[in-house]
Amino acid sequence: MSGSPVRPQPETGPPPETAPAPPGGFGFQVGVRLDDQPGRTGLIRTPHGSIATPAFIVVGTRATVRAVQPRDLVELGAQAVLANAYHLYLQPGPELVEQAGGLAAFMGWPGPTMTDSGGFQVLSLGAGFKKVLAMDTAGLVDDDVIAPGKDRLARVDDDGVTFKSHRDGSSHRFTPEVSMRIQHQLGADVIFAFDECTTLMNSRAYQERSLERTEAWAGRCLAEHARLTAERAARPYQGLFGVVQGAQHEDLRRRAARRLAELEVDGQTFDGFGIGGALEKENLGRICRWVTDQLPADKPRHLLGIATPEDLFAGIEAGADTFDCVNPSRTARNGAIYTQTGRYNVDTLANRRAFEPLEPGCDCSTCAQHSRAYLHHLAKSKELLFYTLATIHNERFTVRLVDDIRHSIEQGFFKDFRADFLGRYLSGRRAG
């Protein structure tokens, strides 16, 4: 680590407990705090309803959680859905979603929605770096050839990103202004600033340059958001979250968080913050803590792309309020079932005659009505219903876990609950 770490600024008084709701009904209120950590409960208010936090937000990339109806999402306790600006821009187009009355109305979802900016997708689909986010990157530094052997489909410059569609190879360009316009047309309650997502393989010098760019883009997003909000004043207010990058560098993460928290353009500040980019799994809690140390207590924080139980506990303890991840549904479609004693594959021979539920004690509609043997059969037969039933279980598992963590904070037994849950989960995983 080079450079001196930036310390949190002294507080000038007790942190405000509540944030006044701006016109249009977006706001955040802190509830119960952990004694010795930044973790807390809270309530995000949006024009389409409230989100009790901590909360797991289910991912419906293309305005659908694959194979699952919105009414099933309601039943499994999902509080909000996060869709993707890049995918909806390419198909069906933001104008069409706007004509339909916005994302929630278009997809028939009765609650709050979020969209991410498209920055991660245009860069990762273009450069192919999604595959290396989880790699052991020790000793690797590479700013140019991120996906060797693959044609690079995205080019970043200081003004924006030019990329080729993964669908048909057509050329497109996203800038902060374009991303804001698309997300205003999509009309989600929470939208994200357009940022450059780097990888752990990028050099320190590149991370510094990239952060300067992301910060300049954050200012442009605020200006365009203020302009569009004024221009479209009859519509419900959309909360704009700035995204904190900085990879694994403490001073960069802290500086990025502090600058975004202080940023004000045309009277507009960020309504909340995303914590993005590649995170070293073993340092996730610590990195999250560097960031939340610098952020105002009275605004919500969203940790992007996290869903495993140990990561959720670490992120929540460190002060993150909401989470999203495609993994519960993606792994379900591949046959992996989440349980409190770890994951197992339902299509293995051991489940052929297992007439108990996917997880005894689970309160999801799949476990109430169907057996492992039936899901084993559906998986082996490649029946479409398999995707629906398995996804409902995994999404319910993840939503319920975060709900239970919220309850444990409210009732004052977070540490005991974490020790109990992770003890069972991690030992079961080792055994499995």
* Binding-site member from 275, 362, 375, 390 for Zn ion (CB under 5 A): 362
Which residue shows structure tokens 């105002």?
A: 296
Please, what is the minimum distance in Å from the beta carbon of residue 109 to Zn ion? 21
Q: Which amino acid is at 140?
A: L
Residue with Cβ nearer Zn ion (23 or 360):
360
Among candidate residues 116, 195, 271, 321, the one labeled active-site is 116
Residue with Cβ nearer Zn ion (317 or 359):
359
Q: Which amino acid is at 105?
A: A
Within a 13 Å sphere around the CA of 175, how many CA atoms are in the beta-carbon half?
10
- The tokens for 369 are 């009505």
Please, what is the minimum distance in Å from the beta carbon of residue 53 to Zn ion? 23
Active site residue 36: no
Please, what is the minimum distance in Å from the beta carbon of residue 355 to Zn ion? 15
DSSP state for residue 268 in the 8-state scheme? B
Only segment of 38-46, 122-130, 328-336, 365-373 that touches Zn ion (CB under 5 A): 365-373
322: how many CB neighbours lie within 10 A of its CB?
28
Please, what is the minimum distance in Å from the beta carbon of residue 172 to Zn ion? 40
Only segment of 81-89, 245-253, 290-298, 355-363 that touches Zn ion (CB under 5 A): 355-363
Please, what is the minimum distance in Å from the beta carbon of residue 359 to Zn ion? 5
Q: Is 65 in the site for Zn ion (CB under 5 A)?
A: no
Q: Is 393 in the site for Zn ion (CB under 5 A)?
A: yes
Among candidate residues 189, 195, 293, 324, the one labeled active-site is 324
- The tokens for 388 are 């629906």
Distance CA 69, CA 111 (A): 14
3-state class of 380 per DSSP? Answer: helix
Residue with Cβ nearer Zn ion (154 or 392):
392
Greatest Cα pair distance, the chain, in angstroms, is 64
Contact at 8 Å (CB) between 314 and 288?
yes
Q: Is 367 in the site for Zn ion (CB under 5 A)?
A: yes
Which residue shows structure tokens 């942190």?
A: 15
Contact at 8 Å (CB) between 117 and 194?
yes
Q: Is 364 in the site for Zn ion (CB under 5 A)?
A: yes
Only segment of 196-204, 206-214, 234-242, 393-401 that touches Zn ion (CB under 5 A): 393-401
Q: Reply yes or no: is the peptide bond before residue 148 cis, omega within 30 of 0.
A: no
Only segment of 175-183, 191-199, 286-294, 385-393 that touches Zn ion (CB under 5 A): 385-393
Within a 13 Å sphere around the CA of 379, how many CA atoms are in the beta-carbon half?
23
How far are the Cα atoms of 47, 188, 321, 413 from residue 236, in angstroms, in the given order?
6, 9, 23, 38
Only segment of 107-115, 117-125, 202-210, 360-368 that touches Zn ion (CB under 5 A): 360-368
Active site residue 116: yes
Residue with Cβ nearer Zn ion (68 or 200):
68
Residue with Cβ nearer Zn ion (330 or 415):
330
Exposed, middle or buried: residue 16 (CB in 10 Å: 0-12, 13-18, 19+)?
Answer: exposed
The footprint of Zn ion on this chain (CB under 5 A) covers a number of residues equal to: 4
Binding site for Zn ion (CB under 5 A): 362, 364, 367, 393
Q: Which are the catalytic amino acids?
A: 116, 324
